[in-house]
């Protein structure tokens, strides 16, 4: 089932077979699916042509979905009971929350906010304008099969505080399920929101969310994501963000769970002095694979983009970073920065790093860099010579490595939530 | 008491220590002097437990405990402290956090209660004042962006907080101006007492004007070639290592 020894032809066949099963599901469900039927048909057409991405797709060169292709996914039950164990695993955050179980919004488990408008995609379906099903096959799959999701909008000038968006996979079926939630976050001019997104679950499943984010003029969205999915899960998340003049999208994604994870972000800086922070950390062990892929489009002058992605890799895990900065012809005074660093805790861990700059303006400042290394033997010995036992010395140095990525997170609630997740990951590695 | 007998050690198959015999009784401060390449730093690292040295013979015990069989952290818990010639930078690790982690690890190993952040800061501030170390040194990342002198002072601050029974100072005087040298010497001298011993490794006699040793040993070619009182340091300064080593041979 892992498919490691599978021939290229067999892999292609497995991908085609899984794609066919998704297309068949669409045919069976489409009469009952909410929203624009034409958008779904177009997505189905695109998905039918492209299929699931394979190693020949440039954007998926380092992330092979053969393990996914060997699966048979089922439709989640419409009503799921008994996920209280998972609710207990959510960090205690005193804020409104939207809870999704197997991709469906559960009003009974949610605490609705008073500071913003919130509804389910199932009730108010809107595919938005930013998503490109013809370009990204996973977005096509999502558009084809999305049944629910969070539609969030904050009105002009409103500071909406913090909202938790939790996605739980309940494993009540005992067989693999797939869900494709469709989220949209819209901040009007001058609005503010801190969105803390947490994904966790049990069992084997595909969580394939697509999010559309619109940051209005001068608005600020802080978007902190914690992906702590089950060890058997596939988490393939695609986010499209459009940031208007003076607006800020401040994103951080921490990936510690899932068998295969991909955090794909397409961010467009569409107005002067817009800012995008696409930061993240990936902490992996065993045979985990996590891919952080970003495309930042500077489409207006004087915009800033910042990316610091840190990878801590143990066991036979593999981290991937693909970062692309595109600067349009008129986007003078662009300031783009990208740094990818990996700490390899074992000889069998691997990192692939692919930065790309595509610049059509002449007055810009763009830089990128990458470092790969192991823990420093001198640093470990220095700590041990001060009485710090070796495991504790290693933990301290790993935390220090992550500090640079985590320290810019100003929101204390989000930071605590991530710090605790880092501790959990570390304990798992030691166990 | 530290007792070293016939200690031999290799680095990458080259023998550096060729049979060291040395005893530092409790309460005494001994100096080890010697030319470059004589094995001074190797001796310090071997005693602290650095693993790129292979001990090929002899023994080293501290208060009867076989040091060489212990992990570096266990040696620290037993009361050993090495002040590094080149203190290591730890980006992302705050100095206060580092010191408290070290102190509490040592206390835990000794079965003593750990200190909380408030108790620790009180202790640390008292030591920074006593050693004329600016308080902001606690807030900075360990040794990152420190000048040579600041790094050495930070070593002495660690020593003052960890209160070892045996301190090994590996060329702590190198690269120091006279003011920093006095602070380092003051840090060692205030720890002196019936329960504290030190091995001061130095190339120059200068530091020994401020830390007066009970005994001076000359290390050359991987062996102790001469031992004597504090006056031996002056003799070395006046006549050089070559004559002393030749005389011993």
Give the pLDDT score at B82.
97
Please, what sign has the CA dihedral across residues A372, A374, A379, A383?
Answer: positive
DSSP bridge partners of B142: B90
Number of H helices and number of E strands within chain B? Answer: 8, 12
Has residue A324 got a pLDDT over 50? yes
Measured between CB atoms, does A42 come within 8 Å of chain B?
no
Average pLDDT over residues A169-182: 89
| The token pair that represents B241 in the structure block | 């290592």
Whether residue A1 is predicted with pLDDT greater than 60 in this model: the reply is no
The pLDDT of residue B8: 97
Our CA angle for B183, B185, B189, nearest 5°, is 115
CB contact under 8 A, A400 and B106: no
Any CB–CB contact under 8 A between A385 and chain B? Answer: yes
Residue A267 CA, distance from chain mean position: 13
The whole-number pLDDT of residue B45 equals: 96
Banded model confidence at residue A80, pLDDT cuts 50, 70, 90? low
Kindly state whether A392 is in contact with chain B, defined as any CB-CB distance less than 8 angstroms: yes
Nearest residue of chain A to residue B74 (CA atoms): A387
Residues written for chain B = 249
- Read off the pLDDT of each residue in A113-138 and give the average, rounded to a whole number: 96
Q: Does A369 touch chain B (CB under 8 A)?
A: no
Judged by CB atoms closer than 8 Å, whether chains meet at A382 and B84 is answered as yes
**Alpha-carbon distance B97 to nearest alpha carbon in chain A (angstroms):** 10
Q: Is the pLDDT of residue A2 over 50?
A: no
CB–CB contact B101 A403 (8 Å): no
Sign of the CA dihedral running B245, B246, B248, B249: positive
Question: Which region among A59-63, A173-177, A319-323, B205-209 has the lowest average model confidence (pLDDT)?
Answer: A173-177
Task: Say if A386 is an interface residue toward chain B (CB within 8 Å).
Answer: yes
- The per-residue pLDDT for B149 is 87
Nearest-CB residue to B90 (from A390, A392, A400): A400
| DSSP per residue, B143-179 | TTT--HHHHHHHHHHHHHHH--SEEEEESTTTT--HH
- Using the Cβ of A382 and the Cβ atoms of chain B, whether some distance falls under 8 Å is answered with yes
How many angstroms away from the CA of A382 is the closest CA of chain B? 7
CB contact under 8 A, B158 and A386: yes
Residue in B49, B73, B90 nearest the CB of A389: B73
Q: Which residues of A touch B154 (CB under 8 A)?
A: none
Average pLDDT of chain A, as a whole number: 94
Q: Which of A341, A379, A382, A387 to mutate to test the interface with B (most CBs of B within 10 A)?
A: A387
Per-residue pLDDT, B184: 87
Q: Which of B48, B88, B109 sits opposite A379 (nearest CB)?
A: B88
A183: pLDDT strictly greater than 50: yes
Interchain CB contact of B49 with A (< 8 Å): yes
In chain A, where the domains are located: 376-431
Each residue's pLDDT tens digit, A288-301:
999 999 999 999 99
- Name every chain B residue with its beta carbon within 8 A of the beta carbon of A376: 88
Residues 399-428 of A with CB under 8 A from B: 399-404
Please report the pLDDT score of residue A346 as a whole number.
95
Q: What percent of chain A has pLDDT over 90?
A: 89
Domain positions in chain B: 2-248
Convert the pLDDT of each residue in B100-157 to its tens digit. Answer: 999 999 999 989 999 999 999 999 999 999 888 888 899 999 999 999 889 999 999 9
Surface of B (95-154) touching A: CB under 8 A: 98, 101-103, 105-106, 109
Closest residue in chain A to residue B106, using alpha carbons only? A387
Confidence tier at A79 by pLDDT (50, 70, 90): low
Q: Are A390 and A384 in contact (CB under 8 A)?
A: yes
pLDDT on residue B241? 82
Residue of B76, B81, B93 with shortest CB distance to A400: B93
CB contact under 8 A, B90 and A382: yes
CA distance B169 to chain A (A): 13
CA-nearest of A297, A299, A267 to A280 is A267
Whether residue B178 lies within 8 A of chain A, CB to CB, comes out as: no
Q: How far is A364 from chain B (nearest CA, A)?
A: 30
User: Does B234 contact A at CB distance below 8 Å?
Assistant: no
- Is B244 touching A (CB cutoff 8 A)? no
**Cβ–Cβ below 8 Å for A403 and B92:** yes
Q: Is the pLDDT of residue A59 over 90?
A: yes
pLDDT at residue A26 greater than cutoff 70: yes
CA A55 to chain centre: 21
Which residues of chain B make contact with A397, given a CB cutoff of 8 A? 90, 93
Please indicate whether, in this complex, the C-beta atoms of B105 and A392 are within 8 angstroms of each other: yes
pLDDT above 80: residue A102 = yes
Q: Which residues of A touch B158 (CB under 8 A)?
A: 386
pLDDT (tens digit, 0 to 9) for every residue of chain B, 249 residues total? 999 999 999 999 999 999 999 999 999 999 999 988 899 999 999 999 999 899 999 999 999 999 999 999 999 999 999 999 999 999 999 999 999 999 999 999 989 999 999 999 999 999 999 888 888 899 999 999 999 889 999 999 999 999 999 999 999 888 888 888 888 899 899 999 999 999 999 988 889 999 999 999 999 999 999 999 999 998 888 888 877 766 655
Cα A201 to its chain centre, rounded Å, is: 15
Range B2-248: architecture per CATH: 3-Layer(aba) Sandwich (3.40)
């Amino acid at each position: 089932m892992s498919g490691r020894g599978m021939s290229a032809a067999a892999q292609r066949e497995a991908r085609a077979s899984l794609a066919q099963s998704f297309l068949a599901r669409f045919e069976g469900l489409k009469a009952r699916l909410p929203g624009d039927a034409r958008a779904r048909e177009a997505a189905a057409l695109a998905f039918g042509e492209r299929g699931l991405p394979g190693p020949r797709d440039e954007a998926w060169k380092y992330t092979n979905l053969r393990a996914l292709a060997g699966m048979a996914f089922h439709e989640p039950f419409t009503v799921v009971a008994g996920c209280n164990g998972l609710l207990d695993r959510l960090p205690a955050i005193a804020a409104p929350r939207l809870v999704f179980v197997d991709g469906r919004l559960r009003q009974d488990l949610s605490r609705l906010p008073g500071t913003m408008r919130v509804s389910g995609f199932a009730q108010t379906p809107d595919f938005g304008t930013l998503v490109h099903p013809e370009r990204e096959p996973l977005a096509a799959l999502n558009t084809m099969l999305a049944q629910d999701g969070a539609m969030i909008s904050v009105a002009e000038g409103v500071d909406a505080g913090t909202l938790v968006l939790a996605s739980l996979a309940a494993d009540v079926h005992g067989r693999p399920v797939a869900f494709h939630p469709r989220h949209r976050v819209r901040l009007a001019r001058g609005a503010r929101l801190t969105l803390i997104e947490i994904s966790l679950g049990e069992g084997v499943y595909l969580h394939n969310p697509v999010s559309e984010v619109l940051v209005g003029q001068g608005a600020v969205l802080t978007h902190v994501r914690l992906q702590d999915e089950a060890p058997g899960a596939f988490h393939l998340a695609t986010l499209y963000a459009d940031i208007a003049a003076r607006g800020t999208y401040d994103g951080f994604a921490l990936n510690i769970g899932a068998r295969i994870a991909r955090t794909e972000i397409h961010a467009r800086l569409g107005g002067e002095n817009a800012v995008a922070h696409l930061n993240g950390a990936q902490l992996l062990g065993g045979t985990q694979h996590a891919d952080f892929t970003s495309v930042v489009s500077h489409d207006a002058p004087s915009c800033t983009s910042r990316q610091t992605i840190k990878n801590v890799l143990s066991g036979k895990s593999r981290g991937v970073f693909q970062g692309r900065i595109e600067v349009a012809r008129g986007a003078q005074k662009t300031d783009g920065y990208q740094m990818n660093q990996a700490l390899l805790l074992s000889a069998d861990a691997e990192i692939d790093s692919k930065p790309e700059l595509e610049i059509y303006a002449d007055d810009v400042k763009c830089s990128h860099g990458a470092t790969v290394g192991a823990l420093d033997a001198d640093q470990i010995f220095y700590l041990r010579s001060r009485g710090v036992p070796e495991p504790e010395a290693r933990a301290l140095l790993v935390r220090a490595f992550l500090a640079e990525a985590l320290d810019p997170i100003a929101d204390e609630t989000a930071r605590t939530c991530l710090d605790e997740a880092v501790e959990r990951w570390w304990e798992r590695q030691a166990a | 008491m530290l007792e070293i007998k016939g200690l031999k050690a290799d680095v990458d198959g080259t023998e550096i220590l060729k049979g060291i015999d040395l005893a530092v009784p409790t309460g005494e401060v001994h100096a080890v002097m010697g030319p470059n390449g004589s094995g001074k730093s190797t001796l310090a690292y071997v005693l602290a437990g650095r693993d790129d040295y292979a001990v090929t013979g002899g023994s080293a015990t501290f208060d009867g405990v076989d040091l060489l069989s212990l992990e570096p952290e266990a040696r620290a818990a037993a009361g050993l402290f090495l002040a590094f010639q080149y203190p290591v930078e730890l980006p992302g690790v705050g100095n206060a956090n580092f010191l408290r982690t070290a102190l509490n690890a040592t206390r835990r190993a000794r079965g003593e209660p750990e200190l909380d952040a408030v108790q620790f800061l009180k202790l640390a501030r008292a030591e920074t004042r006593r050693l004329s170390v600016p308080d902001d040194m606690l807030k900075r990342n360990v040794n990152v962006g420190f000048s040579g002198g600041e790094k050495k002072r930070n070593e002495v601050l660690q020593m003052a907080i960890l209160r070892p029974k045996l301190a090994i100072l590996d060329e702590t005087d190198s690269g120091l101006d006279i003011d920093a040298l006095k602070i380092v010497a003051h840090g060692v001298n205030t720890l002196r007492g019936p329960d504290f011993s030190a091995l001061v490794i130095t190339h120059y006699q200068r530091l020994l004007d401020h830390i007066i040793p009970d005994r001076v040993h000359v290390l050359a070619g991987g062996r102790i070639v001469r031992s004597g009182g504090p006056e031996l340091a002056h003799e070395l300064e006046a006549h050089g290592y070559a004559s002393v080593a030749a005389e011993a041979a």
